[in-house]
Amino acid sequence: MKKVISTTNAPGAIGPYSQAIEANGMIFISGQVPIDPATGKVVEGDITAQTEQVMKNLEAILKAAGSSFSQVVKSTCLLSDMANFAAMNVVYGSRFAENPPARAAFAVKTLPLNVLVEIEMIALKA
C-alpha cells in the first residue's frame, strides 16, 4: 500500500510529485532543494548553507514519516559543480557519524531554481 507523506516543515512540492511516499516499510523522499519552508525562498549563501537547509528539509520529512537519518539506506546527491563536493560532504556527513547509507553523487548541468545542491533519500520506517 502506498501512503503520501507531507509536512509543512519542509517545502511543498512544486510539481506533480509528493514530498515522500511510504510503501512496504520504505520511505522514498523526493529530491530536496535548499528552500526555507518558512519563507518559500531559496536560502542565500554558499554550498554549506544550502546543504544545511537541504538536510533540515530531509530531516523534517523523515520525522513526518516516522523515520530518521539513522534509517536512511540510500541517498543521491546532485551538485551544480563537483568543486562543491567536499564542502557538501562535510555537512552531509555530520548527519551520518555511524553506519552511513549507500550514496551516489553527480554533477549536473542545472538544478531547479539554479540551486547548488539537491538530495533525495530512501529510508526504512523506524
Percent of the chain beyond pLDDT 70?
Answer: 100
pLDDT of 45 reads 95
Domains with residue ranges and CATH for the chain: 2-124 (3.30.1330.40)
Own/partner pairs, 107-115, CB within 8 angstroms, 24+ separation: 107/78, 107/79, 107/80, 107/81, 107/82, 108/78, 108/79, 108/80, 110/80, 111/33, 111/78, 111/80, 112/14, 112/33, 113/33, 113/35, 113/42, 114/80, 115/33, 115/34, 115/42, 115/50, 115/80
Question: What are the pLDDT digits (tens) for 39-89?
Answer: 999 999 999 999 999 999 999 999 999 999 999 999 999 999 999 999 999
Whether residue 119 contacts residue 54, with contact meaning beta carbons closer than 8 Å, is answered with yes
pLDDT of 1 reads 86
pLDDT of 103 reads 98
Q: Can you give the pTM of this predicted structure?
A: 0.96
Whether residue 119 contacts residue 92, with contact meaning beta carbons closer than 8 Å, is answered with yes
What's the DSSP call for residue 38?
A: T
